[in-house]
A = this chain, B = another copy of it.
Amino acid sequence: MTLRAVKPQHETRTRILDAAEELFMQHGFEGSSMRSLTAKAGVNLAAVNYHFGSKHALIEAVFRRRLDPMNVARVAELEKLEAEDRASSPEAIIRAFITPGLRLLEDAKGGGRNFARLLGRTYTEPNKAVRQLIGLMYAPAMQRYKAALERALPQMPREELVWRMHFMFGTLAYTLAATDTVQLIAGCKPEDRYDARLLEERLTAFLAAGLTAPLKSLIKKAA
């Protein structure tokens, strides 16, 4: 049968995915050649095309491996909130949204951190096909959260909420991607051990305040 001794099933695939994740994070898609990639993975140059078909298909696989479970987790957290009748708190909804993303940062050994940075970068990816790809992967979870926030903040104009969600999304994306640019502001200290729990509290406080900011100045100006 197709069953084998436990270890090596699809080991080459996994090693390619891991190496691609790290190299794409470091040098981008176009900046990572198949040769450097397969060298890092310790596999033959032709292995990528054999197992994935093309470089673009490999990029897609890299995202699918992490993104599909992450969005499932996001929706699951939201459904748990709704089942427990805690979905009326914007802060709780925000926390449910960002937690699956931040969890990547804690997984330094498994490469989750690499993927977190890669993911954050890809939101602003020049390559249109890649941007469309992750857009499609996100769309379902995004609609769920939009609906949940509309219920939790019934007094907020739809258009305003869209923009605030946009800002929220951006903050998370940047936080995941640019974990090394904090020192640009701080002036020093890379602080290489990341306290994801503390970061979650900081992000939640910042985003909850922003999302529920008073509307009056806007109404005045928009009139």
* Residues of A near any B CB (own CB < 8 A): 24-28, 30-31, 117, 120-121, 123-127, 131, 135, 138-139, 142-143, 146, 160, 162-167, 169-171, 173-175, 177-178, 181-182, 184-187, 197-199, 201-203, 205-215, 217-218, 221-222
Contact = CB atoms under 8 A, between A and B. Distances in A.
A202 B31 contact: no
Nearest to A145: B185
B174 A127 contact: no
B124 A174 contact: yes
Contacts of A208: 213
Contact of A165 (B131, B185, B198, B209): B185
Given A167-B206, A170-B173, A213-B209, A198 B221 contact: yes
Contacts of A173: 170, 174
Contacts of A160: 202
A201 B163 CA distance: 11
A143 B138 CA distance: 36
B184 A135 contact: yes
Given A31-B30, A127-B31, A210-B209, A222 B203 contact: no
Given A184-B142, A205-B213, A170 B166 contact: no
A163 B121 contact: no
A175 B166 contact: yes
Contacts of A25: 126
B185 A166 contact: yes
A155 B158 CA distance: 35
B206 A146 contact: no
Contacts of A163: 182, 199, 202, 206
A30 B125 CA distance: 12
Nearest to A209: B213
